[in-house]
């Protein structure tokens, strides 16, 4: 089967040590995590991990089931790029003098839809958000033309193309089941 | 100190709260070993002698295996209590073993006080970090307030759904703090679905497959026992007439003499069900996980068959073998449902077709192993005689190696929960402590441990536990003066280069004597019956050393990596 970049979205309780629980599942199968980001989700008290990794369909299914199985993980999903809107952010530090030597800073800012985050006599920090290819293209151009002093790119963050958080329905059904269970007991 | 919220529930120490919480979960037996970071708990235990029976083992690994043995025969959660650092790290093998074999145990470990966590304090280890990969759940109780909740949650997680080990790391400050204790019960966790919903459509589809199959074969695993689905399984096979084979861990879910039982599958399984797996048009896997010791080369496994897989754990479906109809859920419920939908059948002809293979195996292997008339004692012969002498009513505990495979091949069972063996991890040293635990789990049953000379010496110190606590286990040492199973591989696949598998052994009878354990050694066939009788008639523990053939082999055998039909019947 063909290897593709998959995005795994994981909703979890906010407990200590969860990152380790997620990453050891990749480690065990000798898989590399390409990017990772973690933050609180739109649902109160629930955290969201976005992980990207290369895998084939068969493997990604198994890995996601294994993640889902962990007690403190509420639900894990996987998607390919087509199902998602996603973004990464990159920061580039370059020498101000060299940047000016390019002639028109405006040109590079416009072409790449980048912006200046900070500017001093010695260095300038540019910021660009976009897909990997886009942030990489700017990196390439700057490296080749003037050199990049420092560079950092974030992990991917992604939102799926459905209207609400898929988890909401699931949580509602869990709540319903628990309530029913308690009624049954009484 | 915090304010008193409730006058009826006075403040007690965390240690006492722990013991109260355990009692609240129905715990009566703890296998453990004390140490600095657990002294406050042990101190309280002194006051609870009438409610909590603590069995002092000789090594913490033994405490976990004992808890496993207890859990496997009783169906309850086994409990282990140890100190921090080395005490805790000694339990790792048992925890990993319990994870692989889905055994519910709760391991409670003392830990350095929270104020010292992360400082490389004396006897501090990162328990959560180390155990996350080999537990169903591991949790650090940082304050005494959390104890009631954490213990309740631990038992709920360990025992529900697909069971497994849970670790509670218990820093000392939480052991000594005062808490306004109120017992808690956990019956659900938002992020945890122990039993997935039944999908009726899939059950209907499975029933259709079964109704139209002419050569169906059911493969059962421990899931049947864990799901307490033995009766439902019986009803299902009675109605459908389907032949049933078992994995090692599924053994005793149905009685050995049950008409439809066609034997054990896997590397040292019986040839009939192994070969028939590749002839069946339908494989019905129930609570088993297609382990590589069962399937051999997956590319040559049951390619002709449609596969129905009953399991409670979604991550097992399509993991190793592609499944045509997955039936997620509790086997007790799903089997009951499907039995309503399937047609009555007998599959007599198909079942009879297994017999030729049985005849072949009997002739080539079994008769020679069980009924030799000359030469040294054989392992199978000893196992068979012990099984018969107990009326097939005893609990079989094994260690790992040839003794294990001979044990599971030749011991017979009338009732469920009669097999305790390390299946997934294959842990040498498991047997002796697991037998100790099994006795506590089933005090009224005879516990027969089969163990090799290598494996016995991996946990031989537990003879001390047997002596101190007066535990009635029958230890049958199958002594071949070799690490037999490895020697077998060396003989068959490594040109008889016996690298580091000969053992110069001590006088085991003298060792037993030193521990005040009755014992006897036999090497003659004519003494065997008498020795077994003496063992079974002796009150309390007994060590029977059977000096068996040094270079015995376990057959049949599917060589590692071969297809299951490439099964070797013997060396000829
Ligand atoms: C802890 C551990 N170490 C090593 C092994 C590898 N191993 C599997 S079987 C075996 C030989 C067992 O020898 P013995 O206990 O004498 O039993 P026998 O096979 O002779 O019945 C060994 C070394 C293991 N399974 N577990």
Q: Are residues A71 and B319, on separate chains, in Cβ contact within 8 Å? A: no
Pairwise CB contact (< 8 Å): B190 & A171:
yes
Which residues does a 6 A CB cutoff place in the pocket of ligand 1?
Answer: B 399-403, 426-429, 452-455, 478, 480, 482-486
String of DSSP letters for B91-155: THHHHHHHHHTT--EEEEEEE--GGGTTTT-TT---HHHHHGGGSSEEEE--SGGGHHHHHHHHH
Residue-level pLDDT at A92: 98
Determine the residue among A71, A174, A175 to mutate to test chain B binding: the one whose Cβ has the most chain B Cβ atoms within 10 Å: A71
Contact B318 A71 (CB under 8 A): no
DSSP, res B524: -
Mean pLDDT of B173-193: 95
| Number of neighbouring beta carbons within 10 Å of residue B122 | 11
Name the DSSP letter for residue A45.
T
Binary contact (A71, B157; C-beta < 8 A): yes
What separation in Å is there between the alpha carbon of B500 and the centre of ligand 1? 12
Residue B261 among the catalytic residues: no
B217 phi and psi angles, rounded to 5 deg: -135, 125
Interchain CB distance below 8 Å, A17 and B132: yes
Partners of B548 in the beta sheet?
B377
- The C-alpha angle B445, B447, B453, rounded to 5 degrees, equals 180
CB contact under 8 A, B132 and A21: yes
Mean of per-residue pLDDT scores for chain B: 96
Alpha carbon distance B243, B264 (integer Å) = 12
Local structure of residue A147 (DSSP, 8 states): -
Which atom of ligand 1 is least distant from the CA of B487? 11
pLDDT at B435 over 90: yes
Assess whether the previous peptide bond of B556 is cis (omega < 30° from 0).
yes
CA B247 – CA B264 distance, rounded (Å) = 6
Question: pLDDT tier at A135 (50, 70, 90 boundaries)?
Answer: very high
Q: Whose CA is nearest to atom 1 of ligand 1?
A: B428
Atom of ligand 1 nearest to the CA of B457: 15
Contact between residue B79 and residue B98 where contact means Cβ atoms under 8 Å apart: no
Selected catalytic residue, list B172, B276, B439, B547: B172
> Which are the contacts of B444, defined by CB distance < 8 A and separation ≥ 6?
none
pLDDT, tens digit, 9 for 90 and up, residues B88-138: 999 999 999 999 999 999 999 999 999 999 999 999 999 999 999 999 999
When pLDDT is averaged across residues B370-394 and rounded to a whole number, the result is 98
Q: How far apart are CA B215 and CA B333, in angstroms?
A: 25
Q: Which of B267, B456, B485, B494 best tests ligand 1's pocket when mutated (most atoms within 8 Å of CB)?
A: B485
Residue B402 annotated to the active site: no
Question: Which atom of ligand 1 is found nearest the CA of B404?
Answer: 21
The verdict on B8 touching A (C-beta cutoff 8 Å) is: no
Cα distance between residue B464 and residue B92, in whole Å: 22
Low-confidence winner among A45-49, B79-83, B306-310, B477-481 (lowest mean pLDDT): A45-49
Mean pLDDT of A118-123: 96
Q: At what angle do helices B331-341 and B230-240 cross, to 10 degrees?
A: 20
pLDDT bin (cut points 50, 70, 90) of residue A17 is confident
In whole angstroms, what separates CA B438 from the centre of its chain? 10
Say yes or no: B143 contacts chain A, CB-CB below 8 A.
no
* Catalytic residue check, B494: no
Note the pLDDT tens digit of each residue in B137-159.
999 999 999 999 999 999 999 99
Which of B248, B378, B401 has most ligand 1 atoms within 8 Å of its beta carbon, as the pocket-test mutant? B401
Q: What are phi and psi of B138, to 5 degrees?
A: -135, 140
Tokens at B323, concatenated: 């499944």
C-alpha B221/C-alpha B247 separation (Å) is 5
The model's pLDDT over A55-106, given as tens digits with 9 standing for 90+, comes to: 999 999 999 999 999 999 999 999 999 999 999 999 999 999 999 998 888 9
Q: Ligand 1 atom closest to Cα of B400?
A: 9
Give yes or no for residue B459 having a pLDDT over 90.
yes
């Amino acid at each position: 089967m063909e290897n593709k970049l998959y995005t795994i979205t994981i909703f979890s309780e906010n407990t200590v040590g969860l990152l380790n629980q997620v990453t050891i599942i990749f480690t065990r199968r000798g898989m590399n995590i390409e990017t990772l980001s973690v933050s609180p989700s739109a649902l109160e008290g629930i955290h969201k991990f976005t992980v990207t990794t290369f895998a084939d369909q068969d493997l990604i299914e198994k890995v996601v089931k294994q993640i889902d199985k962990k007690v403190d993980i509420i639900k894990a999903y996987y998607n390919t790029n087509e199902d998602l809107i996603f973004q990464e952010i990159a920061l580039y530090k370059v020498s101000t003098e060299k940047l000016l030597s390019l002639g028109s800073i405006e040109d590079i800012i416009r072409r790449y839809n980048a912006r200046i985050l900070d500017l001093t006599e010695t260095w300038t920090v540019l910021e660009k958000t976009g897909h990997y290819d886009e942030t990489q293209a700017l990196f390439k151009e700057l490296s080749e033309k003037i050199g990049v002093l420092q560079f950092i790119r974030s992990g991917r963050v992604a939102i799926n193309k459905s209207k609400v958080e898929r988890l909401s329905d699931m949580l509602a059904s869990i709540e319903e089941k628990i309530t029913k269970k308690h009624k049954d007991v009484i | 100190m915090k304010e008193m919220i409730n006058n009826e529930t006075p403040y007690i120490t965390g240690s006492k709260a722990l013991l109260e919480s355990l009692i609240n979960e129905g715990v009566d037996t703890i296998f453990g070993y004390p140490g600095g970071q657990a002294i406050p708990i042990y101190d309280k235990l002194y006051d609870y002698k009438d409610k909590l029976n603590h069995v002092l083992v000789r090594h913490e690994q033994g405490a976990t295996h004992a808890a496993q043995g207890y859990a496997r025969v009783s169906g309850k959660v086994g409990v282990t209590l140890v100190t921090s650092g080395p005490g805790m790290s000694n339990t790792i093998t048992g925890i990993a073993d319990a994870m692989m074999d889905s055994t519910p145990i709760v391991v409670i470990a003392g830990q350095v006080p929270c104020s010292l966590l992360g400082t490389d304090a004396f006897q501090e280890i990162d328990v959560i970090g180390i155990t996350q990969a080999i537990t169903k759940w591991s949790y650090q109780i940082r304050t005494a307030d959390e104890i009631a909740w954490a213990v309740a949650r631990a038992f709920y997680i360990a025992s529900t759904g697909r069971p497994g080990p849970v670790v509670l790391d218990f820093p000392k400050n939480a052991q000594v703090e005062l808490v306004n204790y109120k017992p808690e019960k956990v019956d659900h966790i938002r992020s945890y679905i122990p039993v997935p919903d039944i999908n009726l459509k899939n059950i209907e589809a499975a029933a259709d497959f079964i109704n139209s199959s002419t050569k169906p074969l059911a493969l059962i695993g421990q899931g049947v026992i864990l799901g307490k689905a033995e009766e439902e399984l019986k009803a299902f096979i009675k109605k459908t007439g389907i032949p049933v084979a078992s994995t090692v861990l599924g053994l005793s879910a149905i009685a050995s003499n049950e008409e439809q039982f066609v034997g054990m599958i896997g590397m040292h399984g019986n040839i009939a069900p192994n070969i028939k797996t590749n002839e069946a048009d339908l494989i019905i896997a129930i609570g088993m996980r297609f382990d590589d010791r069962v399937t051999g080369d997956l590319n040559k496994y049951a390619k002709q068959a449609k596969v129905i897989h009953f399991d409670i754990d979604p991550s097992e479906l399509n993991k190793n073998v592609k499944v045509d109809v997955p039936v997620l859920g509790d086997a007790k419920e799903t089997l009951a449902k499907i039995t309503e939908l399937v047609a009555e059948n007998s599959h007599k002809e198909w079942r009879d077709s297994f017999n030729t293979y049985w005849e072949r195996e009997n002739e080539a292997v079994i008769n020679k192993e069980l009924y030799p008339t000359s030469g040294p004692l054989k392992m199978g012969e000893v196992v068979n005689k012990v099984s018969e002498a107990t009326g097939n009513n005893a609990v079989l505990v094994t260690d790992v190696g040839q003794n294990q495979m001979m044990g599971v091949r030749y011991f017979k069972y009338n009732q469920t929960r009669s097999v305790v063996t390390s299946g997934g991890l294959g842990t040498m040293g498991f047997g002796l402590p697991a037998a100790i635990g099994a006795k506590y789990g089933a005090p009224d049953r005879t516990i027969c441990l089969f163990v090799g000379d290598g494996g016995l010496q991996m946990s031989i110190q537990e003879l001390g536990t047997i002596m101190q606590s007066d535990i009635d286990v029958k230890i049958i040492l199958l002594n071949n003066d070799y690490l037999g199973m490895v020697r077998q591989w060396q003989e068959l696949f490594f040109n008889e280069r016996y690298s580091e598998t000969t053992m110069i052994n001590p006088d085991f009878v003298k060792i037993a004597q030193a521990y005040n354990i009755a014992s006897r050694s036999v090497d003659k066939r004519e003494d065997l019956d008498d020795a077994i009788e003496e063992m079974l008639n002796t009150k309390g523990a007994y060590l029977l050393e059977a000096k068996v053939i040094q270079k015995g082999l376990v057959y049949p055998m599917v060589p590692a990596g071969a297809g299951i039909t490439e099964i070797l019947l013997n060396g000829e």
